Structure formats: structure tokens, C-alpha cells
Structure 1
Amino acid sequence: MFVRTVYAVGDPQKIDAAIEALKDEGRMLLAAQPGYRGMGLFADRELGKLSIGTWWDSEKARQDSDDALHTRRSELLRPFATAITIDNWEVIAASRPEQTPTGACMRMSRLDFDPMDADLAAETMRGMVMDRLKAIPGVIGVAMFMNRSAGRSSIGVVYRDRTALAQSRGPVAQLRDEAVGKAHSTVRSVEEFEVIITESVGDS
């Protein structure tokens, strides 16, 4: 499985319009693309940030969809976004939520590593990190992505509500510290978002 992420920042007062456009027209456009396997839409309304992840069953499907949609995607985001970053990933491990309750939240951690250590980072994520994250109370979904050649990874964890997210901060900080030491990684950023949409399509 492969994922494209779009990270957009802009005026918080314009974020709701962007969210509605992505929920409506954006989802319809994605669903019409071959190989589409679902999406996640996450928002920080206070600071004006959107994180969007779309899932694809092959690298070709991901690239073809980007070729088909990038112009319209920019048009949907332009009224809100002042900066847009697009990244492509392979899925290292995932346990996607079957249902996401109202009030669910997501924490995203981005890490850097030497590309020579990509296998070590992937092994650490699939093993120690995945198992311990899933054991944290309130966790309902985990997704781990990697760009091996760039030496970057991203971990998104969905929690059932904001209380569970807050209570997890200490245990996750401890786990993060252990994991970066074991995988020879460094932390680039840690961010928290409101869950707007998570959906799976087909066999993903």
C-alpha cells in the first residue's frame, strides 16, 4: 500500500471552507480514481493546518491520481492555504480504524534517519513501536509511513477522544525516546489534529 500526504497551512478563519470542499468534491474526485483505497483528513483549526492522507494500492495508482488531480486539488485549497507540501510514502505498518467517533484526535510524529538505516527504522516501527502504541488506552488506529530514499518516516495515531490523546502524551514521549535511540532516528516534529474523516475503501 502507498500513501500521498498533503500538508497545508493558512488562515484559520478560512479553514472550514477548505474542509467542506475536501469532504465533498475532494472525496468524489478521489473515489473516481483507479486504485483509491481511502483517506484521512485532519485539522488544527486554531493554528490553521490541514493534513490529508490518501491511500493507493500501487505506486502507479498514486502517481496517476496525482497527475489527474493536482490542479483541482490546488484550486480547492487555494482560498485557505498559503503553503502546501506533498509527500509520497510506502506503508510500513497500519491498523486503520473501522469507525472513528465524533471527537477523535490524531497525533502525527515525523522522524528523520540515515537512509542506510531504513531497514532498522522499519523493523523498529513494525515491532516495538506498533505493538506498544496499540496497547495505549484509547488508541483506535495507527499508520506508519516511510520514504526510504529520503530518510523520513511519519507515524499517525488516532485516539477515540481528546482526553485519551492528552493522557497518552507521557507514555508516547517515553516510547518515542526509546524508538529514536533504537532506530538511530531524530524527531522532526510532533503535531496534534482533530479527526475530520477517516475512511477505508476496498481491501485496505
Structure 2
Amino acid sequence: MYVRTIYMTGDPANVDGFAEAVRTKGRELLAAQPGFRGMGLFADRELGKLLVGSWWEDEASRQASDEALRDRRAEMMAPFAQTVTIDNWEAPVARRAQDQGPGAGFRLVRMDVEPGDIDLLVTTFRDTALPRVQKVPGLAGISLLVDRDHGRAAVGALFTDHDALAASRGAIAAIRGETTAKARVTTRSLEEFDVVLATAVPHT
């Protein structure tokens, strides 16, 4: 699986209106592209941040969709986004959640890793961290994303509600500390968001 993320900041007063446009019109545009496998839309209403993640069956589908939607995407983002960062990822470990909506919570961890250590990170996350994380109450889904060319990684975790998200912080922090040390990874940022939409398209 492959993922494209779009990280936007803008006026907090405009978050909900723009998020609704992405949830409806944006999702329709993505769903019409070959290889589309789902999307997540996450908001920080207090600071004015939106994160959109789209999932693709293969790298070619992700790239083709980017080329097909670039102009429409820029037009749609213009009323809200004052800053935009677009990243492309491989998802070597993905435990996709059942559909989640308002009321659910999302945590994003960004990491730096030497390109030569990415396979070590994938193995450590899959074999050591994941079995422990999946026992944390309220976890609805979790994925490890990697960018082998630039030495970056991210972990996104969905929780069924904000109480579960908050309650998980201590346990997840301990697992994160042990995993990053073993995999020789540096944590760059830690953020939490409200879930606007998180949906997966089943394979047919």
C-alpha cells in the first residue's frame, strides 16, 4: 500500500467549512481514481491544521492520481490553506481500521531515520511494537509509513474516542521510547487530531 499525505494550516475559523468540502467533494474526486483504497481526514480546530491521507493500491496509482488531481486540489485548497506540505509514503505495516468518524481520535508521530535503518524500523515495529500496541484499549487501527529516499517515517494511530486516545498516552509513550531506541530512530513531532473521516475501500 502507498499513501499521500497533505498537511495544511490556515485560519482556525475556516477549518470546519473546508473539512466538509474535502469530506464530500474531495472524497468523490479521490474515489474516482484507479487504485484508490481509502482516506483519512483529521483536524486540529484550535490551531487550524488539517491532515488528509489517501491510500493507494500501488505506487503507480498514487502517482497517476497526483498528476490527475493536482490542479483541482490546488483550486480546492486555496480558500483555506496558507501553508501546504505534500508527502508520499510506502506503508509496509498497516492495520486498517473500520470506518471512523467524528468522536474518534488520531495520533501522528513523525520520525527521522537513516535510510539504511528503515528495514530495521519496519521489523522492530511489526514484530516488537505492534503486538503490544494492539493490546491498548480503544485502538482502532495503526500504520507505519516510510519514505526510503529521504530517511523519514511516520506512525498514525486511530482510537475509537478521545477518552481512549488520552488514556493511551502513557502506555504508548513507553512503547514508542523502547521502539525508537532499538530501531535507531529520532522522534521529530507528536500531534493529536480530531477525526473527521477515516474510511477504507475493501479490495474486490
Query: TM-score scaled to structure 1, two decimals?
Result: 0.97
User: What letter matches 2:150 in structure 1?
Assistant: A
Q: Does residue 143 of structure 1 match 2:119? A: no
User: What letter matches 1:140 in structure 2?
Assistant: A
Q: Which runs of 4+ in 1 moved over 3 A?
A: none
**Counterpart-to-counterpart distance in 2, 1:117 and 1:107:** 23
User: What letter matches 2:45 in structure 1?
Assistant: R
Segment of structure 1 superposing worse, 141-150 or 98-107: 98-107
User: What letter matches 1:78 in structure 2?
Assistant: A
**Counterpart-to-counterpart distance in 2, 1:87 and 1:42:** 16
What is the RMSD computed on CA atoms of the aligned residues?
Answer: 1.2
Query: Which deviations, in whole Å up to 9, do the C-alpha atoms of 1:125-146 show, x marking residues without a partner?
Result: 2121221111101101111111
Query: Which deviations, in whole Å up to 9, do the C-alpha atoms of 1:5-60 show, x marking residues without a partner?
Result: 11101110111121011011101101110111110111001110111110111111
The aligned length equals 204
Partner of 1:107: 107
Partner of 1:20: 20
Partner of 1:190: 190
Q: CA deviation at 1:101?
A: 5.3
Mark the runs of 5 or more structure 2 residues left unpaired by the alignment.
none
Identity of paired residues, percent? 48
User: What letter matches 1:56 in structure 2?
Assistant: W
Partner of 1:131: 131
Q: Does residue 44 of structure 1 match 2:65? A: no
User: What letter matches 1:10 in structure 2?
Assistant: G
**Counterpart-to-counterpart distance in 1, 2:9 and 2:129:** 29
**Counterpart-to-counterpart distance in 1, 2:109 and 2:156:** 7
Contact 2:37 2:201 in 1 (8 A): yes
